[in-house]
């Protein structure tokens, strides 16, 4: 299904029949990724006395409760409400859902005892006003990321200088395959979050960060159309389903 889409002053063609899903499915079992020291999410049927809301248990329907944390259990999109004193829902931040995007692959570099993504690295891949969204795939990239247990691993993170550079390039939607753009244990500084949103000096209320994505190695670096869909939940973050479409020449 070849479709022509007008985005601001740019007209692009994409095949909507060829979506590239870069989200991680919340599964509620041992295969589910986990971060921030929580246990795995729970998906289980409602129970009322001896009645169990599961067809295989004699019910007429399957009727499950789901207990999860959007930040810890899968692909999620967050607004500045994640770090602000005042409540700000991600539903207010995201009013449009299609964006030009660039996918890049970056091998985090050594930085003391950590591994980081630096401004110097990003300058090789991203230019000013090149895209509205930036999708960062960290290297090495294996399928294990879809089930990774991230707690206490000191994952790679984005340096403050790199987050500022991303912001100055005009990127409004940052997507990454890590649990956070910031260091796991940083004493609450959240430097990359603050720099990207420019909080609190001149806060970018319409900017979002999407974490815990998975970009298959079959997806080449380059330019795409991004469809960023979120769950309609009044919260600083919700589960999301980012989908890429290759731009046709």
As a whole-number percent, the residues of the chain with pLDDT over 90 amount to 94
Distance (Å, whole) CA 226 – CA 217: 17
Q: What integer is the mean pLDDT of 154-162?
A: 98
Q: CB burial class (10 A; 0-12, 13-18, 19+) of residue 119? A: middle
pLDDT higher than threshold 90 for residue 8: no
pLDDT higher than threshold 90 for residue 93: yes
Confidence (pLDDT) at 1: 82
Domain boundaries, the chain: 2-27+70-248
Confidence (pLDDT) at 89: 98
Q: What integer is the mean pLDDT of 133-147?
A: 97
Q: What is the pLDDT of residues 198-220, one digit of tens each?
A: 999 999 999 999 999 999 999 99
Distance (Å, whole) CA 247 – CA 94: 22
pLDDT higher than threshold 90 for residue 47: yes
Residue 136 near residue 177, CB atoms below 8 Å: yes
For residue 140, say if its preceding peptide bond is cis, omega within 30 degrees of 0: yes
pLDDT higher than threshold 90 for residue 249: no
Parallel, antiparallel or unpaired: strands 10-15 and 237-248:
antiparallel
Q: Which CATH class is domain 2-27+70-248?
A: alpha beta
SS3 content of the chain, % helix, strand, coil (to 5): 15, 35, 50
Q: What integer is the mean pLDDT of 37-41?
A: 97
Assign 4 a pLDDT band (cuts: 50, 70, 90).
Answer: confident
Q: What integer is the mean pLDDT of 86-91?
A: 97
């Amino acid at each position: 299904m070849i479709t022509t889409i007008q985005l601001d002053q740019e007209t692009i063609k994409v095949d909507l029949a060829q979506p590239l899903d870069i989200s991680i499915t919340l599964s509620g079992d041992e295969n589910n990724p986990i971060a921030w020291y929580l246990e795995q999410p729970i998906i289980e049927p409602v129970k009322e006395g001896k009645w169990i809301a599961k067809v295989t248990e004699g019910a007429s329907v399957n009727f499950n409760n789901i207990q999860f944390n959007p930040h810890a259990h899968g692909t999620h999109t967050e607004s500045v409400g994640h770090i602000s004193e005042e409540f700000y829902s991600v539903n207010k931040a995201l009013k449009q859902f299609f964006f030009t995007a660039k996918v890049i692959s970056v091998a985090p570099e050594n930085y003391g005892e950590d591994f980081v993504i630096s401004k110097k690295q990003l300058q090789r891949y991203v230019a000013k006003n090149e895209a509205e969204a930036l999708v960062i795939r960290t290297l090495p990239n294996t399928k294990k990321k879809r089930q990774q247990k991230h707690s206490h691993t000191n994952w790679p993170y984005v340096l403050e200088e790199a987050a500022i550079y991303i912001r100055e390039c005009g990127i409004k939607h940052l997507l990454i395959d890590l649990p956070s753009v910031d260091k796991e244990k940083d004493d609450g500084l959240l430097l990359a979050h603050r720099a990207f949103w420019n909080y609190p000096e001149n806060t970018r209320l319409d900017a979002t960060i999407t974490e815990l994505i998975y970009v298959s190695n079959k997806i080449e670096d380059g330019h795409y159309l991004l469809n960023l869909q979120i769950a309609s939940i009044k919260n600083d973050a919700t589960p999301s389903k980012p989908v890429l479409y290759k731009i046709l020449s």
